[in-house]
Amino acid sequence: MLELRSAHTDSPTGVGHEAYELIREIYPLCRSITGEGVRDTLRSVQRRIPLTIVEVPCGTHVFDWTVPPEWNIRDAYIKNRSGERIVDFRQCNLHVMSYSAPVHRTMTLGELKPHLFTIPEHPEWIPYRTSYYQENWGFCLSQKQLSQLTDGEYEVCIDSTFTPSGTLTYGECYLPGATEEEVLVSTHICHPSLCNDNLSGISVAAMLAKTMAQRERRYSYRFLFIPTTIGSITWLATHEDVVHRVKHGLVLTGLGDRGKVTYKKSRRGVAEIDRVMSHVLKHSGQDHVVVDFIPYGYDERQYCSPAFDLPVGVIMRTPHGAYPEYHTSADNLDLIDPQSLAGAYDHCLIAFDVLEQNGVYQNLNPKCEPRLGKRGLYRSIAGQQEKQNRELAILWVLNLSDGTHSLLDIADRSGRSFEEIRQAADALTACGLLKNAGR
């Protein structure tokens, strides 16, 4: 069995800094649910992991939805009478409402205002707005910018295109394991220059895929980099033949801020991934919270929809909408932290280790306790408390290894960490008192 271990270092070359540098690289790109910004983002990820880029034709029917026309934008601005760009897409891609229809005309401030969006309570910030499935156009700007606009005429331009013959693009990194049973990791790639939501999820998923690609794997791992909602719906609709292989799953989002880790359970609530994540966080020694499933949030809504009911939970830090910078220009490189990214990576990687190593064992000497001393299981070790902890872990494993309890069951019931229980099982197996009875 592999030893559970911390996965990152605090050095500048550690995984947290590597994840942060990926975010820095793709931060300027203008992403939406389709378009060149998504492709450019996936190409950056592809330079780090074995990623397949998939194109699904616009107009494809996916359950109750249809893949919309591909949207791209080249430029956008509002100019005053002096020809000065007072709102400039080139300065911040949040300035344009995503999926805005093309427009180029001169209009009064009164005509323009219904198409302007601000955050009055944060006068320096620019909001993020979308209009994916209803034709509209708009500009997002700071309240300070809006307050400086005077009556008069303005030149308004959004140089965008809709291409019905285009495609929806997503990325997939599939790592085959010893079995076809899968761990699904999904993250959304459709937001423009927003770091926590969700460049953090993209970067942590890429780091996890890079690590898992170098390991021996019992499970197969499928990492999906998809536009939110329509992406997961499209993947499910085009992969119904393999969905049954998904035995565990995580949606990664909002992992870069400095808040405590939050785990949202799957619809099932008692799936193995729910128990594993709860166990890993409990024994991490870090502040965290575990919340129940609700049918609102990210792509877990689709994976956990009734016909699929996949065991997919969500790992994040501060939940969406619970921090003021959410969906604003303040969700920038200053909001996220390499250590937060590295911590999230560690939690996920340890959870993968538990999934890989969890199993059911059979006590081969179940009539009373065997003599452990003659088998070298009462070692002379540094501290009495450590010795007692090790011996108690061994006794728990012996007592509950009846062919029905998994190592995770034993860890949870005993209150000990999975690692302690796994080490005890290894020691008992090595001396012939235990055998692996499978899953």
Structural element, H or E, at residue 348: helix 338-357
Angle between helices 15-26 and 338-357 (to 10 degrees): 120
Question: What is the distance between the alpha carbons of residues 401 and 395, in angstroms, rounded to a whole number?
Answer: 10
Instruction: Categorise residue 292: left if φ over 0, alpha if ψ from -120 to 50, beta otherwise.
Output: beta
Neighbours of 29 (CB within 10 A): 18
- Residue 112: both structure tokens together: 């323009």
Contacting residues for 5 by C-beta, under 8 A, at least 6 apart: none
Query: Does 353 belong to an annotated binding site?
Result: no
**Rounded Cα gap, residues 426 and 121, in angstroms:** 58
191 is in an annotated binding site: yes
Q: How far apart are CA 230 and CA 67, in angstroms?
A: 7
Q: What are phi and psi of 308, to 5 degrees?
A: -105, -50
E-state strands within 190-311? 220-226, 246-252, 261-264, 288-291
251, 255, 254: which is closest to 265 by C-alpha? Answer: 251
* Distance between first and last Cα of the chain: 14
E strand segments, 310-439: 312-316, 360-363, 402-406, 434-436
Burial of 6 (0-12, 13-18, 19+ CB in 10 A): exposed
Single out the residue of 229, 59, 17, 48 nearest to residue 130, CA to CA.
Answer: 229
Other CB atoms within a 10 A radius of the CB of residue 341 amount to 30
Which residues define the annotated binding site?
A: 191, 197, 327
Annotated binding site for Zn(2+): 191, 197, 327
